[in-house]
Structure 1
């Protein structure tokens, strides 16, 4: 019976995540275009026929229709089920790590926000204020809830709020400074303003310490991927590449492994000296 309950719980979590992933696909498509996120209902991007509920089942619907519209046979992008499946898996990973808790609910929201921002940045090279600003506010609210519960500890609440605010301010100032210095050195814009706002949002959710780690990981990933693309595809140095996805990935890596990474660093390079 316990095994069946565990399987059922994991299925529900994955299905919830996949459903959120389906909505993320809607946000990524409609928000940059200035369209309503709720109306009209989901339609085929080719023939604009409204989809039936059974066509819209996350992952399964795309597989059942073999990646084609039921009505016009137009191809439906593979990205739709991939985003749904990835979101479901991320929800599962968070659930496995943080169990049934406020942290799980909060990190579900945080990672969903990061995924939506990453995909929009990949598509449009922008990080819209409609997501970064509310994401920052929710990060501060999340820290307040975590600090206040479960025993109404006002001291811990103040500490968590200070951590969130310091993290947000540090993220904004740090990336604004990087953008300014980079523009002076290279004589052109090297980083969009949206990256600083995303960093501020990350700082609110993660706190200043883990923000720095996430930013460091993001820079490592960005340099590695960018350098590889230059070598393998013979792109010219200085071509534009969205940095938001790397910041998001750095945040997720820090979320799951930040404590281990920092403790390993302190043990090897600080305590070992």
Structure 2
């Protein structure tokens, strides 16, 4: 009986995440275009027919329709079910690690913001202010809630809030400094949106884990960039969106930051 309950809980969490992933697809498509993310309801971008509820079931709807619009038969991008399934897996992973807790609710929101920002950056080379700013505010609220609930004291609240504020300020200053260095060298090194995303990450992770996430992001970005150049996929100096690397660094740090830092300190100190 207990096994069945656990299995049903996992299925529910995955379905919830996939549903959020469906909404992330809407945000990624509409927000850069200046459209409302709430109205009108989901519709085919080609023929503009409103989708039926059973066509809009995450992942399964795409399978039932065989990847084509029911009305005009236009192809529906494979990215839609992939984003939905990926979000479902992220939600499930967070749930399995942090169980039923405020951390789970908070990290579901954090990961959703990171995923939406990554996809928008890949599509448009921009990181919209409404998402980075709202994500930063949510991160500070998250620090307040977790700080107070950790030891039920105002001291814990203040400590966590200060950790989030310091992380946000450090993220903003650090990446703006990198951007200024690029200007000094007459080469764009970092966009303004990247600094705002780093500030958002700092609000959620705190300054120590922000530094780790930033280091991981820079390492991944360098490896991918060099690999793309060697494979003749990109030219030297060609810009690449850095938001997905920052988000990847945040994901890795969220799930494995503590053992990574522990291993680093044991190795060098």
TM-score of the two chains, using structure 1 as the length reference: 0.97
User: CA shift at 1:45, angstroms?
Assistant: 1.3
What is the CA-CA distance between 1:217 and the residue it aligns to?
A: 0.2
Counterpart-to-counterpart distance in 1, 2:220 and 2:15: 30
Distance 1:77 1:46 in 2: 12
Residues 1:53 and 2:75 aligned together = no
1:88 corresponds to: 88
- Regions of 4+ moved over 4 Å: none
Correspondence for 2:63: 63
Query: How do 1:92-241 and structure 2 match up within 5 A?
Result: 92-149=92-149, 151-185=151-185, 187-233=186-232, 235-241=234-240
SS of 1:236 mapped into structure 2: coil
Is there any run of 5+ residues in structure 1 with no aligned partner, and where? none
Q: CA deviation at 1:269?
A: 1.2
Mapped partners of 1:183, 1:220: distance in 2: 22
Distance 2:196 2:38 in 1: 26
Report whether the alignment pairs 1:33 with 2:33.
yes
CA distance in 2 between counterparts of 1:189 and 1:240 reads 9
RMSD, matched Cα: 0.8
Q: Deviations over 1:2-21 (max 9, x none)?
A: 11001100000000000000
* Normalised TM-score (structure 2): 0.99
Task: Please say if residues 168 and 200 of structure 2, whose CA atoms lie closer than 8 Å, have aligned partners that are also in contact.
Answer: yes
**Could you give the per-residue CA deviations for residues 27-76 of structure 1, whole angstroms, max 9, x where no partner exists?**
00000000011111111111111100000000000011110011111100
User: Is contact 2:168–2:199 with CA below 8 Å preserved after alignment?
Assistant: yes
Q: 5+ unaligned residues in a row in structure 2: which ranges?
A: none
Aligned partner of residue 182 in structure 2, secondary structure: helix
- Paired residues of 2:212 and 2:253 also in contact (CA < 8 A): yes
2:231 alignment partner, SS class = helix
Q: Secondary structure at the match of 1:233?
A: coil
Partners of 1:38 and 1:181 in 2: CA distance: 40
Give the C-alpha shift of residue 96 in structure 1.
Answer: 0.5
